[in-house]
Amino acid sequence: MLTLAGLGAHGAASADDIKLNQLGFLPGAAKVAVVPDGVARDFAVVDADSGKVVFHGALGPATSSPDSGDTVRLASFAPLNTPGKYLLRVTGLPDSSPFEISPSAYQAVSAAALKAFYFNRASTALDARYAGIYARAAGHPDTQVLIHASAASATRPAGTVIASPKGWYDAGDYNKYIVNSGIATYTLLAAYEDFPAFFQRQDLNIPESGNGRPDILNEVWWNLEWMLTMQDPADGGVYHKLTNLHFDGIVMPNQATQPRYVVQKTTAAALDFSAVMATASRVYAPFDKALSARMLTAAQSAWRWAQAHPREYYQQPKDVSTGEYGDKDVSDEFAWAAAELYITTGDDAYYQAMRAPEQATSVPSWGEVRGLAWMSLARHRKQLSAAADQRLITNRVEVLAQQLADGWKKSPYGIPMQTHDFDWGSSGLALNQAMVLLHGYRLTGKRDYLDAAQAGLDYVLGRNAVETSFVTGYGARSTQHPHHRPSQADGIAAPVPGFLAGGPQPGQQDAQHCPKPYPSRLPAKSYLDHECSYASNEVAINWNAPLVYVAAGLQVLTPR
Ligand SMILES: [Ca+2]
Ligand SMILES: [Ca+2]
Ligand SMILES: [Ca+2]
């Protein structure tokens, strides 16, 4: 039975609510709130304890937002940089949610977003020492996984049993998909490559905390171990997914006991695997040379398989109905794998294989990964061989960052998100945009890029038309009922913390299955905080990963 009991304290956003980042801001950050247009032309920031006005400013011009149907003004208070707890006050409107200005504003949410991966670990019990009230029994040992007919080979005919334990559950379901796991794993590795000191200090309170290796690399290793088992040692090909034939019911992991299969080797899986293993090979090299070498060998054999099988697209078998992650354009996956192999090995042949001049760029998503190649090349640009076109690399990152900044400048809500960005997983998209902007900022030092990235994080933490922090457990009005089997089945009122809900998108594909209507058909308001809403309220590892990246990146890069 679904329960609506938790909704009382988090009723629908009202039209006169002020919207802002409910966690707050670093002292040196851009600080912006969205204020519904009314009689007021100015605003005040008030100390939440004393009630004293600490900042006074003029509201920006009124603009109407077609995505939300709202007419709003922006309140900007960047000069207020004294740590404290505040709220925004506008005559004629209710006060905003309280927020903090703090030098550690995003430490906790960054750690929670990473700890969410621990909460989604397959093949292990979660001990109360680490999981608190969310402790649970082990599920999905995945030590007896069947080769599906679609994946049969001479050495592994259909029905062969292999072991493929560990890894993370992909999303609200309990299956494991190489393509989506790949971009999530890469994004966490990229966060470590860009902000190593931040992550070396971070203690997640996971079983590997205190073992001398950064917790983020322990957590990522849990998934890399699984990914390595998804490669067929006979030929280097990589199975597309490890799955039930059909989705589980809404039960805890240990109650989900359907047989598990690996399904069809695909070009996309081989290339994503190759890119991730090449990246991991260089990241883990200082810690474990043998492991690093093993991962590079795995990356290279997957690459060779993909060269020999360039058009093995995923075709969902008739007896399988779980997620597809199908992708019929793998030119971007080829480019990404080539780029990572080039960076790790220094072999110019891989740079040539990338065909860099032909690769445009775009905000990364699981099916369009060209942008990851450009960000990796930019990150390592000072160590690249003469074969690499430095100007092209800089240009690809900067052009995309500038496009996003242009959208941010003209947006009524002051965010990079445009109408077409309210698509499935819009929260993850907002954070991938912010990740691109942070790369642009690292490359050029242009302050606009940092401020636009801040706006992306502000968006998912409450500066949005439904006035919701889409991160469970974080913010005064946060997602309460994510489509996430453990959160739904554990009998605990509060959702498992640190998960990013998919967010508004007007497709509303689940509307006919949901007992409660969406509040609106408008793109920015098509959000339903109900367990039924897989289309707007599911969680997914590839959305959480850029949350880890962006929260850490802003924490590190924002000037003091
Ligand atoms: Ca550790
Ligand atoms: Ca693709
Ligand atoms: Ca629950």
Q: How far is CA 483 from the centre of its chain?
A: 16
The per-residue pLDDT for range 197-251, each reduced to its tens digit, is: 999 999 999 999 999 999 999 999 999 999 999 999 999 999 999 999 999 999 9
Which H or E run includes 340? helix 331-345
**CA-to-CA separations, 467 to 7, 15, 527, in angstroms, rounded:** 14, 10, 11
Encoded tokens for 443: 């490359």
Distance 175 CA to ligand 1 centre (A): 26
Measure the CA–CA gap between 516 and 184, rounded to whole angstroms.
Answer: 32
Task: Name all domains of the chain by residue range, CATH numbers in brackets.
Answer: 120-388 (1.50.10.10)
pLDDT score recorded for residue 2: 36
pLDDT score recorded for residue 43: 98
pLDDT score recorded for residue 16: 87
Encoded tokens for 283: 């990241």
pLDDT score recorded for residue 353: 98
Measure the CA–CA gap between 404 and 459, rounded to whole angstroms.
Answer: 14
Asked whether 519 and 528 are in contact (CB, 8 A), the reply is: yes
Distance 111 CA to ligand 1 centre (A): 13
- Between CA 313 and CA 320, with CA 319 as vertex, the angle to 5 degrees is 55
How many alpha carbons lie under 13 Å from residue 225 in its C-beta half-sphere? 15
Q: How far is CA 549 from the centre of its chain?
A: 8
Ligand lying nearest the CA atom of residue 364: 2
Alpha-helical runs (H) found in 48-195: 107-119, 128-131, 178-194
Measure the CA–CA gap between 46 and 87, rounded to whole angstroms.
Answer: 5
Q: Is 358 left (phi over 0), alpha (psi -120 to 50) or beta?
A: alpha
Measure the CA–CA gap between 116 and 52, rounded to whole angstroms.
Answer: 38
Ligand lying nearest the CA atom of residue 367: 2
Measure the CA–CA gap between 87 and 80, rounded to whole angstroms.
Answer: 12
Ligand lying nearest the CA atom of residue 334: 2
Helix axis angle for 390-410 and 370-379, nearest 10°, is 120
Asked whether 551 and 106 are in contact (CB, 8 A), the reply is: yes
Asked whether 434 and 552 are in contact (CB, 8 A), the reply is: no
Q: Which H, E and C letters describe 546-559, residue by residue?
A: HHHHHHHHHHHHCC
Calculate what percentage of the chain has a pLDDT beyond 90.
Answer: 97
Instruction: Report the chain's terminal Cα–Cα distance, integer Å.
Output: 49
What are the DSSP calls for 187-225, one per residue?
Answer: HHHHHHHH-HHHHHH----STTTTSSS-HHHHHHHHHHH
CB atoms within 10 A of CB 292: 19
Residues in the chain: 560
Encoded tokens for 125: 């019990």
Ion ligand 1: protein residues whose beta carbon lies under 5 Å: 208, 211, 213, 215, 218
Encoded tokens for 521: 């058909």
Distance 493 CA to ligand 3 centre (A): 5
pLDDT tens series, the chain, 560 aa: 333 333 333 455 677 899 999 999 999 999 999 999 999 999 999 999 999 999 999 999 999 999 999 999 999 999 999 999 999 999 999 999 999 999 999 999 999 999 999 999 999 999 999 999 999 999 999 999 999 999 999 999 999 999 999 999 999 999 999 999 999 999 999 999 999 999 999 999 999 999 999 999 999 999 999 999 999 999 999 999 999 999 999 999 999 999 999 999 999 999 999 999 999 999 999 999 999 999 999 999 999 999 999 999 999 999 999 999 999 999 999 999 999 999 999 999 999 999 999 999 999 999 999 999 999 999 999 999 999 999 999 999 999 999 999 999 999 999 999 999 999 999 999 999 999 999 999 999 999 999 999 999 999 999 999 999 999 999 999 999 999 999 999 999 999 999 999 999 999 999 999 999 999 999 999 999 999 999 999 999 999 999 999 999 999 999 98
Which H or E run includes 176? strand 176-177
The per-residue pLDDT for range 378-428, each reduced to its tens digit, is: 999 999 999 999 999 999 999 999 999 999 999 999 999 999 999 999 999
Which H or E run includes 284? helix 267-284
Residues assigned a catalytic role: 529, 538
Ion ligand 3: protein residues whose beta carbon lies under 5 Å: 487, 490, 492
pLDDT score recorded for residue 342: 98
CB atoms within 10 A of CB 424: 17
Distance 458 CA to ligand 3 centre (A): 26
Question: In 153-169, which positions are buried (b, 16+ CB within 10 angstroms) versus exposed (e)?
Answer: eeebeeeeebebbbbbb
Contacts of 349 (CB under 8 A, 6+ apart): none
Among candidate residues 145, 6, 1, 2, the one with its CA nearest the CA of residue 495: 6
Asked whether 118 and 111 are in contact (CB, 8 A), the reply is: no
Distance 263 CA to ligand 3 centre (A): 31
Ligand lying nearest the CA atom of residue 118: 1
Distance 324 CA to ligand 2 centre (A): 13
Q: How far is CA 267 from the centre of its chain?
A: 23
**The tokens 């891989």 sit on which residue?**
350
Asked whether 529 and 481 are in contact (CB, 8 A), the reply is: yes
Distance 164 CA to ligand 2 centre (A): 25
Measure the CA–CA gap between 456 and 363, rounded to whole angstroms.
Answer: 13
Look up residue 276 and give its amino acid: V
For the chain, count helices (H), then strands (E).
15, 13
Among candidate residues 547, 478, 451, the one with its CA nearest the CA of residue 26: 451
